[in-house]
Amino acid sequence: MTTSTDNSTSKVEWITAEDGHEIFSKTWHPVGAPLANIVFVHGLGEHIVRYNHVFEEFNKAGFQVSAFDQRGFGETGKKSKSLGCSGGYDKAIPDITAALKRAEAEGVPLFLMGHSYGGGLVLNYDCIGPLKHKLAGLIASAPMILASGPTRPSSLTVGFAGLVSKVLPSLQIPTNLSSKFISRDPKAVEKYDADPLVHGYGTTKGLYDMLSNGQALLTTRYKDITPDVPLLICHGTEDGLTDHQASKEFFDKIQVKDKEYKVYENHYHELHNEPEDDRKVVIDYYIEWIRKRLPAAKSST
């Protein structure tokens, strides 16, 4: 299915992964040749169509965006009737690699971006991903490194989940995340709550992988970050789902030549869905950050 606006054309496709799993994908094409190709990875329990308003603005800037509903989520989870069953990092990292390969185009800079659980995934990809050296830049929005204080499970709980995941990896459990932390905009929260493709389920393996790999970024994996890939981490100080202080701790530890930690005072979890004026500032900043890292911008400085 293809839809068009004055500034872009979006195309929906079903992609068959190497293991035969069918994955819902969408690509937002700008008018004319793209200045950059961006692969986007969404958060826990949500889906990519929630980002239409973000990627339409990216299209206006000349950027092409490719994204997919991860296994267990959105249209992908609906079709497979396996809500929350993501397969963990064993499936997520290869799926990101496959998306990057599909988005590759000669002479067009390739960026990777993720939000929340997807933010933790892309940071881990920058450390262990097969195509990490091909990236022109990476953006992590409110990345899941550690959960925020009130929602953070104890190390004992995480360890127990790890043991259970080895025996019952596909055991479905509720995530119990409160939508009140999504945004300060009540309409954004209402829309989230009413979205039939948003759900609050995970599996023991998926949730354990999310928590343990997030924690690994702070303990050992930060040493494997790609030093030549520009990195932007953005976080709101009032994020009640993921910990902005963990983002700063990770940022301070990594050795990256071009890195930036962008903090938004009093903002909640979904920076791109905050009240209208604030979300515009955030989205515009993403665009400007990418634009400054395009070859033409570098050669003019």
Q: Which of 122, 61, 120 is nearest to 289 (CA)?
A: 61
Nearest to residue 285, comparing CAs of 113, 32, 126?
113
DSSP code at position 84: T
Q: Which of 29, 199, 244, 269 is catalytic?
A: 269
How many CA atoms within 13 Å lie on the side-chain side of 26?
23
Closest to 165 measured CA to CA, from 226, 130, 213, 198: 213
Q: Which of 69, 95, 239, 243 is catalytic?
A: 239
Residue 147 per-residue DSSP state: B
Which of the following is catalytic: 10, 116, 148, 165? 116
The reply to whether 116 belongs to the active site is yes
Cα-based distances in Å from 102 to 66, 86, 143, 197, 298: 9, 21, 24, 25, 26
In this structure, are residues 230 and 109 in contact, taking their beta carbons and an 8 Å threshold? Answer: no
Output the furthest CA–CA distance in the chain (Å, rounded): 56
Q: CA-to-CA distance for 89 and 70, rounded, in angstroms?
A: 11
The answer to whether residue 258 is catalytic is no
Measure the CA–CA gap between 201 and 172, rounded to whole angstroms. Answer: 7
**Which residues are tagged catalytic?**
116, 239, 269
